Structure 1
């Protein structure tokens, strides 16, 4: 599955992307999403107060 996704991205962007590179990018993207979610949960009340 990861190899097929890497081939599709390679064809779409016309750059050479292998499955390992894609795996590393997905790990970092997942970590960034998790960190953003955690920050949103921690600072939820401060954001509400700032927007009101």
Structure 2
């Protein structure tokens, strides 16, 4: 059931954003921006954490 839902969502995105579309480029840029924001958020969570070699 879950695989069927994921496949349906993937197919919907493929139909909504064809490869030669400007929307695909926009979607890619938005995805990269979200990834960068997530990475910075993760770094901010570990800002006070001691990750030195002696910690392990």
Could you tell me the TM-score, scaled by structure 1's length?
0.55
Q: RMSD across aligned C-alpha pairs, in angstroms? A: 1.5
Question: Which one has more relative contact order, counting CA pairs under 8 Å at least 6 apart?
Answer: 1
Q: Note the 1:1-52 alignment, pairs <5 A.
A: 17-46=20-49, 49-51=50-52
> Would you identify which runs of 4 or more consecutive aligned residues in structure 1 move more than 6 Å?
none
Unaligned stretches of 5+ in structure 2? Answer: 1-18
Aligned length: 35
TM-score, normalising length: structure 2: 0.52
Compare the two structures and name the one with the higher helix fraction: 1
